[in-house]
Structure 1
Amino acid sequence: MPWGQRITVALPDDVSVALHRRGYVEYDLSAFYLGLLENGMTFFDVGAHVGYFSMLAGEAVGPDGKVIAFEPTPSTFEILAENARSLENVTPVNSAVWSEPSLITFRDYGSGFSAYNSAFQPRLRQSLRANIVESTHTVSAVTLDAYVSEHKCSPDVVKIDVESAEMHVLRGMTKLLSGPRPILSLEVGDLDVPDAPRSRELVEKVCSFDYVAFELCEGRAVPHRLRDGYGYENIVFIPAERTGEVGPRSRALAG
């Protein structure tokens, strides 16, 4: 990766192919986090996959910081745990994040589509969905509010990329959004997945806690205007009282 670490990937899924070729994924979000995160911060990676953003955050928050990486898929979690093994500030958690503590049925779409594993149908075009062979796992699920209460660690920043389960995560972190008020990034995208809310609803949900929405341009946060429909992107939410702290910062993904 650009900052010198090596990462084990899970070819041939899309994220792993990009990491294998370039050493990074999601340039805008990566650059934003490299500009935002500082030594000693706590970062929650909700939907960590093989751990790219967990490793990026671990590098950025330093030995005095902390990264908690949530990943429910057993096979993907094994790779995440391997990548975290040499990073003392990264704690992998083999659990889904949900609206209530529970056991949920989680869909595994195989090595070619592991980035789309979800409690819902995959966020892919229907023509691709038809060719996927899925298996299911029963996985434990926690809420972020309960995890924070039990482990006495409050995040400064939360990344959420959970393939259509975003509303469940938000409903399980209302105390966090009302109290400690971390900065938040949320992956959006409307692909008509059954039972998944529209992205506009997610943006409105976070903003109802007096957060301000931003979109990313070359790693910089610029004001976001609410839309009726969304393609794949990450929206960043800053507590209204902290918008002046962030500004248009970014760091290039250079070695």
Structure 2
Amino acid sequence: MTAVMKIATAALPNQVQLQCPNAAEALAIYEDCQWYFKHGIKLEPGSTVVDVGAHVGIFTSIAAELCQRKMTAYVFEPIPQLASLLTQNMAQLEPVNVQIYNCALGSETGTAEFAFHPETPMLSSAFPDETDREYLDLRETLIRNSSGPDVPERLQALSKIPRFLRGFLLDQTLKKHFHHERLSCSVDRLDQIPEMQSIPRIDLLKINAEKSEELIFQGLEQLWSVIQQVVVEVHDFDGRLDRLRNHLTSQGFAHVDCDQMDILKGSRVYLLYATRSSAA
């Protein structure tokens, strides 16, 4: 049985109001998106952006404002419930030219089974069998980062709870957010999307695909020459961070940098930034 996803309205700091499943989640994603514009990543009016893992369009709305709404965007979201909200939200960004694709991206075309988290859709991924490990990793990261002298703002409330109670209280919250159901989504290679095959330039490729990033890299081999900047969330299992960093360097990106959000310090989740010399 398909879970019912709640609908809320999030008023973002950039004055855009978006329909979303969870306003608190949307504001957290907005805050996370500020990290994407570090290490030389920039946009200008007239840019073309590819947003992989678009959720309900938060990153694209930020990019549109940076480009004074003079932008072309290709946005990809595999979860149908999110893609429906994404379509509604992108209509608000006129005159931005937005093309929406309700599919996942990977190394080959087909279908994939996703874990869909209706309470917190940003946790949804194409690796449903790894949900338990994700739960434990996130729990450990939040407990660790809620202690010490430099607690991230989003963990301040947790830091005020006695340490011996934090695990218990986190479990009560995380169990709700990690409730999920399985659903089947279509998968395409990015370089096989018809519009991509004739695109002259991609000013920024943003990827946040919950552990699918390496498969997505494998599915865009024909596009590297037109991509000017990349920002990708990397889940560093089995040396993936180094592999993707080396791959970006091999594709001619002059500047490849790595960073980690404050709230995720010490976890396996990183951001890789790549720019060519003309874009830095």
* TM > 0.5 fold call: yes
CA contact (8 A) 1:167 1:197 kept: no
8 Å CA contact 1:84, 1:91 repeated in 2:
no
The alpha carbon displacement at 1:197 in A equals 6.1
CA distance in 1, matches of 2:278, 2:259: 16
Instruction: Encode CA deviations 1:30-63: one digit per residue, 9 max, x unaligned.
Output: 4678x71111110000001121111111222345
Q: Is the 8 A contact 2:106 2:189 kept in 1?
A: yes
* Aligned equivalent of 1:111: 119
Alignment match of 1:209 (pick from 240, 248, 251): 251
- CA distance change for structure 1 residues 57 and 148 in 2, over 3 Å: closer, same or farther? farther
Is the 1:72–1:139 contact (alpha carbons within 8 Å) kept by the matching residues of 2?
A: yes
Greater helix content: 2
Once the two structures are superposed, the pairs formed by residues 14-163 of structure 1 within 5 Å of their partners are 15-18=25-28, 24-30=31-37, 36-88=42-94, 89=96, 90-112=98-120, 114-120=121-127, 121-122=130-131, 124-126=134-136, 131=175, 132-147=178-193, 152-153=198-199, 154-163=201-210
**Residues 31, 201 of structure 1: CA spacing in aligned structure 2 closer, same or farther, 3 A cutoff?**
closer
Query: Secondary structure of 1:199's match?
Result: helix
Distance in 2 (CA, whole Å) between partners of 1:217 and 1:76 is 26
Counterparts of 2:196 and 2:245, CA distance in 1: 28
What's the counterpart of residue 160 of structure 2? none
The structural deviation recorded for 1:185 is: 0.5
Q: Distance in 2 between matches of 1:40 and 1:230?
A: 36
Identity %: 23
Q: Evaluate the alpha carbon distance shift between residue 100 and residue 91 of structure 1 in structure 2; reply closer, same or farther with a 3 A threshold.
A: same
Residue by residue over 1:64-85, the C-alpha shift from the partner in whole angstroms, topping out at 9 and shown as x without a partner, is 4201110001111122122112
Contact kept? 2:191, 2:197, Cα under 8 Å: no
Gaps of 5+ in 1: 219-228, 247-255
Equivalent position amino acid for 2:62 in 1? L
CA contact (8 A) 2:57 2:86 kept: yes
C-alpha contact 2:53 2:208 (8 A) present in aligned 1 = yes
- SS of the aligned residue for 1:54 comes to helix
Q: SS at 2:256's partner residue?
A: strand
How far apart are residue 183 of structure 1 and its match?
A: 0.9
1:117–1:163: 8 Å Cα contact kept in structure 2? yes
Q: Tell me how far 1:200 sits from its aligned partner.
A: 2.2
Are 1:185 and 2:231 counterparts? yes
SS across alignment from 2:64: helix
SS of aligned partner of 2:82: helix
Relative to the length of structure 2, the TM-score reads 0.68
How far apart, in 2, do the equivalents of 1:49 and 1:106 lie? 14
User: Is 1:171 aligned to 2:218, yes or no?
Assistant: yes
TM-score by length of 1: 0.74
Which shows bigger deviation, 118-127 or 198-207? 118-127
1:198 aligned onto 2:204: no
Q: What displacement does 1:146 show? A: 1.2
* Cα RMSD, aligned residues only: 3.0
User: In the superposition, relative to structure 1, how do residues 244 and 217 fare at CA in structure 2: closer, same or farther (>3 Å)?
Assistant: farther
One-letter amino acid of the structure 1 residue matched with residue 91 of structure 2: R
Query: Whole-Å Cα distance in 1 between the matches of residues 251 and 203 of structure 2?
Result: 16
SS at match of 1:175: coil
1:2-42 deviation per Cα after TM superposition (whole angstroms, max 9, x unaligned): 33222223217x732526xxx64343224678x71111110
- Corresponding residue to 1:2 among 13, 23, 45: 13
The 3 A distance-change label for structure 1 pair 206 and 148 is farther
Output the CA distance in 1 between the equivalents of 2:107 and 2:57: 23
CA contact (8 A) 2:190 2:216 kept: yes
